[in-house]
């Protein structure tokens, strides 16, 4: 599946957690804190994050503060394993990582043999408490099922809260449309300017500085 991201009004994106604020990308990350049953942090825990679709794993150790962070993960379904001698193995499964998402998976370890396992299965979408970024991922089914007369994926941006399209002006001119013949006006997110928008395809910049629109508008079937 091809991932298309409209990164809009980047000036309003603010980090409220002490995690480095990376450039917006087509990848995601899984992070969290490892603690024991009393709430004390557990350093040097072996954390393995596995993509269940590709079976590719990334292994890290928790820091002295019990914190771990696994960046640059392809969106998909993941499993997180945490192992520490003297504690039962912690497993969090069926984690759905979305485009440009930072998913927090905290691990609370229980005393016991590492051969024993405490398994947690994700239910629903986890609340993002690590960033004030507001975003929405439009799934492929929505893209193909929703009626789009213009066949322009940018019309789906209005599904995100705080996003409006200015339909004023001459819609026949290119400066007031995403591309000639596709209709729609300038896009504004969270009260920001249209010029504050940025567009990427598979993590590659896709901006037309002349008209402040995507330089390439891929067909719906390619998304």
- Which pLDDT value is given to residue 138? 75
Block residue for tokens 């504004």:
188
Q: What whole-number distance in Å separates Cα of residue 167 and Cα of residue 165? A: 6
Question: Do the bridges between strand 204-205 and strand 198-201 make them parallel or antiparallel, or are there none, so unpaired?
Answer: antiparallel
Question: Do the bridges between strand 89-97 and strand 117-121 make them parallel or antiparallel, or are there none, so unpaired?
Answer: parallel
* Cβ neighbours of 23 (radius 10 Å): 11
Pure H helices in 114-173: 140-145
Query: 85-111 b/e with 16+ CB inside 10 Å = b?
Result: eebbbbbbeebbbbbbbbbbbbbbbee
| Tokens encoding 101 | 């998402």
Three-state SS for 52-100 is CCCCCEEEEECCCCCEEEEEEECCEEEEEEEECCCECEEEEEEEEECCC
- What is the three-class DSSP state of 205? strand
Task: Please report, in tens digits, the pLDDT of each residue of the chain (223 residues total).
Answer: 444 444 433 333 322 233 333 455 678 999 999 999 999 999 999 999 999 999 999 999 999 999 999 999 998 999 999 999 999 999 999 999 988 889 999 999 999 886 777 777 665 455 566 665 666 777 777 777 777 777 777 777 777 778 877 655 443 344 444 444 334 456 787 788 777 777 877 778 888 777 777 788 788 777 7
Structural domains of the chain sorted by starting position, each given as residue range(s) with its CATH number in brackets: 25-121 (2.60.40.1120), 140-222 (no CATH)
Phi, psi at 15, each rounded to 5° = -85, 130
Q: What whole-number distance in Å separates Cα of residue 55 and Cα of residue 220? A: 29
Question: What does 21-57 look like in DSSP terms, one character per residue?
Answer: -PPP-S-EEEEEEEEETTS-B-TT-EEEEEETTT--E
Q: What whole-number distance in Å separates Cα of residue 186 and Cα of residue 120? A: 44
């Amino acid at each position: 599946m091809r991932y298309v991201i409209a990164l809009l009004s980047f000036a309003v994106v603010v980090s409220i957690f002490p995690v480095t604020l990376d450039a917006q990308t087509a990848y995601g990350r899984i992070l969290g804190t490892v603690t024991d049953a009393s709430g004390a942090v557990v350093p040097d825990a072996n954390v393995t994050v596995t993509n269940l679709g590709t079976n590719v794993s990334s292994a890290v150790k928790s820091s002295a503060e019990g914190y771990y962070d696994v960046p640059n993960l392809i969106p998909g379904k993941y499993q997180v394993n945490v192992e520490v001698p003297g504690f039962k193995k912690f497993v969090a499964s069926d984690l759905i990582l979305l485009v440009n998402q930072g998913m927090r998976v905290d691990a609370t370890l229980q005393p016991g043999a590492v051969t024993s396992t405490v398994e947690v299965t994700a239910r629903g979408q986890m609340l993002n408490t690590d960033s004030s970024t507001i975003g929405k991922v439009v799934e492929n089914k929505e893209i193909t099922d929703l009626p789009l007369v213009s066949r322009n994926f940018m019309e789906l941006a209005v599904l995100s809260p705080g996003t409006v399209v200015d339909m004023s002006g001459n819609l026949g001119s290119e400066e007031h449309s995403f591309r000639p013949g596709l209709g729609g006006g300038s896009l504004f997110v969270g009260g920001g300017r249209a010029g504050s928008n940025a567009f990427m395809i598979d993590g590659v910049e896709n901006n037309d500085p002349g008209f402040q629109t995507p330089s390439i508008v891929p067909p719906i079937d390619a998304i």
